[in-house]
Amino acid sequence: MNEFSYDTIRKDLPVFRTILSDKDEVNPHLKSLILSYRKEHPEGYDTNVRAWRSAHDSHVRDNKFSFFVKRIESACNFICREHFGDVSFFKCSNMWMMQYEKNDSAYPHDHFPSVWSCVYYVEVDNWCSPIIFEKTLEIRPQNGLLLIFPSIIEHEVPPTEGQRMAISMNFRQI
């Protein structure tokens, strides 16, 4: 294999956010599904997330989440169309749930080679830790907050004081 040299460029990358308007109806349903899933799979998975985390293919293992996966796929497609003028379509390649408790955290990581990643906050305490992007942008979780961002952005969660229940997904272009 040939050796490669490289140059670098700086480019601002967006982190899109919205609060789902129907969070008060959606979140109790999602919370119930996550608690049921965790009851069936209490062991969790050892990853960069230092909290209970479901399998990366939870959307395949349990199709009860398909309504939500489709909704977030539509949001990714909307962002590409409205903000980038691109009519590409994206499909969920990974979905997992997390439940953080006191002192749980997530080490710095990204989701390359996916194109888009997201996190949706189902239920959070007021004093839970923020998600930190590229060590510069801190966003405080709130119930119903959806974040969608390019998968190459590094992010982390410092040890938390409060609880948080969230769903994360990665998307690939189809």
Question: What is the per-residue pLDDT across 101-151, written as a single tens digit (0 to 9) for each?
Answer: 999 999 999 999 999 999 999 999 999 999 999 999 999 999 999 999 999
Q: Could you tell me if 77 and 68 are in contact, meaning their C-beta atoms sit under 8 angstroms apart?
A: no
Q: How far apart are CA 48 and CA 58, in angstroms?
A: 17
Predicted local distance difference test score (pLDDT) of residue 85: 86
- The pLDDT, as a whole number, for residue 86 is 79
Given a cut of 90, whether residue 70 has pLDDT beyond it is yes
The predicted pLDDT at position 166 comes to: 98
Residues, the chain, total?
174
| pTM as predicted | 0.95
Residues 130 and 105: their CA atoms lie apart, in Å, by 10
Minimal CA–CA distance to 170: which of 15, 88, 57?
57
pLDDT at 17: 98
Return mean pLDDT, the chain: 95
How far apart are alpha carbons 58 and 62 in whole angstroms?
A: 6
Encoded amino acid at 156, one letter:
E
Q: Is the pLDDT of residue 4 over 90?
A: yes
With beta carbons less than 8 A apart as the criterion, state whether 79 and 98 touch.
Answer: no
Q: Burial of 82 by CB count in 10 Å (0-12 exposed, 13-18 middle, 19+ buried)? A: exposed
